[in-house]
Amino acid sequence: MERLVIVSNRVPTLRSQDPAGGLSVALKSALEESGGLWFGWSGKVTEAPGSDWRVNQHDGFSLATLDLCRAELRGYYEEFSNRTLWPVFHGRLDICRPERKAFDTYRSVNRRFAEVLTPLLKDDDTIWVQDYHLIPLGKHLRHRGVEGPLGFFLHIPFPPPQTFAALPCYRELLADLCFYDLVGFQTEACAENFRHAVAEFLDAEPGADGSLRMGDHVTQVDAFPVSLDTAAFAEMAQSEEVEETADQLRDFMGDRQWICGVERLDYTKGLAERLRAFATALDRTPALRGHISLIQVAAPSRESVPEYREMRSQLEGLSGSINGRFGSFDWTPIHYLNRTFSQKQLAALYRVSRVGLVTPLRDGMNLVAKEYIAAQDPEDPGVLILSRFAGSAQELTEALLVNPFDISSTAEAIQDALEMPLAERRRRWRQMKLHLDTHDVHAWRNAFLDALAEASADSSAVGETRAA
């Protein structure tokens, strides 16, 4: 296997005690096989920019990191990546804050990534760039003479062309993506949005196979739905340690049923709408009061970004209001937890919850939905309620699919899930679990890398033909 080089905004610590870390597990195993390199930001912040980098060995492969200065962190990460790209890619133009200075910093950090990474590369390396923080990286690597296979995967949604055009730099970013041999998306709909944007805004020639040709270079475009390490997560969920935690939760639950939501605190996750839907279910069906509770985990995220601080305040007020309206001395309707839990703790929560409520307003994939299915007891599985605007809805079609903007219909789905007969719960769960068994994160990784090898060969052949 040729050496694989992974580039991401942050390099993971890879010290987690949880064996089912999903994406990092799949990429780590590929790096171990190839003796590869994982490159990215160290997570450390300095006062002034510099080109110093560090390399550490980890189980047969290397971790290479560099620091960012405060101005770079603010412009590249906080302002452009998280206050400009993130809202636009999720369709939230109302809170997008595009600033040319932030874009300039974003591009300069990508240029510095390329400057530091290029000397670490070998001629036959396969380079796989991860996510929206690093869109221009491929262009800067090519300009520095890097000729090997170069792929990019977008973990978040790609919006329709007119939404993407809200970015002042939209043409530049589209052109940047066309420097890669392969650009991968979570769903075919996102891949089509990208193709249409390039066709509309750039002078690109579409291919019958869905590829795009810019001059002498061909970029393949395809969907690769990311997944989790299904077998490892299911094994962990059935472990003695997780079962002990699950038993403790059952003791606390008593004869009540739990509905669980697990998210990173983000305005794309539909958390306020979810709480309102739960309250609507309680309002419509008084018999549910005292017998069900919503356990909502909202892990802290991007706390330096004002929109996230405002959302945390909103959710705390909303959950308190609902508890004050419906709660009693011995029953709390909503347990709102603004903290991080381990994978094992979450697996126990999934396992004891009758309903998994996963209702983002827009999501590239959403692995929580897949984790919930993988964690279930085959003899008594819970019911997944899933937003049709999550990428995972394209695969988990046996879930109860809802429109999260429609509070009333989501409340009805909660009632339907709680009343669903065991035979139907088992049937739906078996279909989804079978899909996840055969479409796990290792299959995702292999599909992308195989497609990248083929795309690189095709692009080279096109260039040689035109040169001749």
CA distance 383 to 206: 42
CA atoms of 95 and 268, how far apart (whole Å): 12
Alpha-carbon distance of 444 to 146, in angstroms, equals 25
The SS3 assignment for 255 reads coil
Which residues does the annotation mark as catalytic? 155, 363
Strands 212-214 and 205-206: antiparallel
User: Which pair of tokens denotes residue 45?
Assistant: 């912040």
Distance CA 248, CA 277 (A): 28
Where do the DSSP E strands lie in 53-174? 53-58, 61-69, 126-130, 150-153
Chain center to CA of 279: 28
CA 372 to chain centre: 15
Question: Which of 323, 362, 367, 326 shows the shortest CA–CA distance to 346?
Answer: 367
With beta carbons less than 8 A apart as the criterion, state whether 163 and 93 touch. yes
The conformation of residue 3, written as its DSSP 8-state character, comes to P
